[in-house]
Chain A
Amino acid sequence: DARVTQTPRDKVTEMGQEVTMRCQPILGHNTVFWYRQTMMQGLELLAYFRNRAPLDDSGMPKDRFSAEMPDATLATLKIQPSEPRDSAVYFCASVEQGASTEAFFGQGTRLTVV
C-alpha cells in the first residue's frame, strides 16, 4: 500500500537547536508539499516542489526555514534555529499531478520546541 512516509513522528527539542524533518513521497509522485498545522492557523502551505524544483516557498519564514529535495525520494524541511512558536504538526503531502488530483498526506511530524 503506497504511502507518504515522514520521520520523525515526534520531536521535542530545545529552542535554538536545528530540526530536520524528512519525507519520502509516494513513488512516481512529482509534486511534494510541506504544510504546517496549528490550532490557530490550521493547515498552512509552507513550500512545494514539482519534479524536485521549488515552485513556491512564500509561506515559509526564510530566515530560519529551508526546504529541499535532494532526490525524487526525499524531501527535507529544516528549521535553524528553532523557536517555541515553531511548535506544530508538519505534514508532507505528494500528488501525481496530471494523473490524479488527490494529495496523499504523511502521518506528520509533531514538533515541540521548549
Chain B
Amino acid sequence: RKEVEQDPGPFNVPEGATVAFNCTYSNSASQSFFWYRQDCRKEPKLLMSVYSSGNEDGRFTAQLNRASQYISLLIRDSKLSDSATYLCAVNPGFGAGSYQLTFGKGTKLSVIP
C-alpha cells in the first residue's frame, strides 16, 4: 500500500457545485496533514493545513479522520479558478523533530462553465 493515496480523477464539475476529495495515508503515527494546490506547469502551493478538529477557510473545508486514516477536502460553490490539481501531503513524523512531506499523486479538478 502506498503511503499516501488519492483518486487521480479527473473530477469534472459545473460551476457552483460542491466537490469532495479524499486522501488515505498508511502510517498511523503521521503527525501533520496538508492540502496543496498545483496549477498546470506551476509549483505546489499550500492551500490549507488539516487539523484534528477540522478547519474551514471560506469555501474550503478540510477534515481529518485518524481512525480511518484519511483526510478530506470539500470545496463549496466551485469557481472556474478552482480548476487545478489538489495534492494531499502527510508528515510521517519519524523521530523527534522530524519533518518531511510525502505527497499523494494529486486529484485533478476541472470546473466547467
User: CB distance B43 to A43 under 8 Å?
Assistant: no
Q: Return the CB mask of A83-114 against B: 1 if under 8 Å, else 0.
A: 00000000101010100011101111000000
Report the separation of the CA atoms of residues A97 and B98 in the bound assembly, to the nearest whole angstrom. Answer: 9
User: CB distance B91 to A107 under 8 Å?
Assistant: no
Number of contacting residues on A, CB 8 A?
22
Q: Return the CB mask of B76-103 against A: 1 if under 8 Å, else 0.
A: 0000000000010101000001111111
User: CB distance A41 to B91 under 8 Å?
Assistant: no
User: CB distance A97 to B101 under 8 Å?
Assistant: no
Report the separation of the CA atoms of residues A96 and B89 in the bound assembly, to the nearest whole angstrom. Answer: 17
User: Which residues between 28 and 70 of chain A lie within 8 Å of chain B, taking CB atoms?
Assistant: 31, 33, 35, 41-43, 45, 48, 50, 55-56
Chain B residues near A55: list those with CB within 8 A.
98, 100
Report the separation of the CA atoms of residues A97 and B42 in the bound assembly, to the nearest whole angstrom. Answer: 24
Whole-angstrom distance between the Cβ of B28 and the nearest chain A Cβ: 19
Chain B residues near A95: list those with CB within 8 A.
99
Number of A-B residue pairs at CB separation under 8 A: 48
Chain B residues near A102: list those with CB within 8 A.
34, 46, 49
Using CB atoms and an 8 Å cutoff, list the residues of chain B in contact with chain A: 32, 34, 42-46, 49, 87, 89, 91, 97-106
Using CB atoms and an 8 Å cutoff, list the residues of chain A in contact with chain B: 31, 33, 35, 41-43, 45, 48, 50, 55-56, 91, 93, 95, 97, 101-103, 105-108
Task: Given contact pairs A42-B105, A105-B44, enumerate 18 new A-B contacts (beta carbons under 8 Å).
Answer: A31-B99, A33-B100, A33-B101, A41-B105, A43-B105, A45-B101, A45-B102, A48-B100, A50-B99, A91-B44, A93-B101, A95-B99, A102-B34, A102-B46, A102-B49, A103-B46, A103-B89, A106-B43
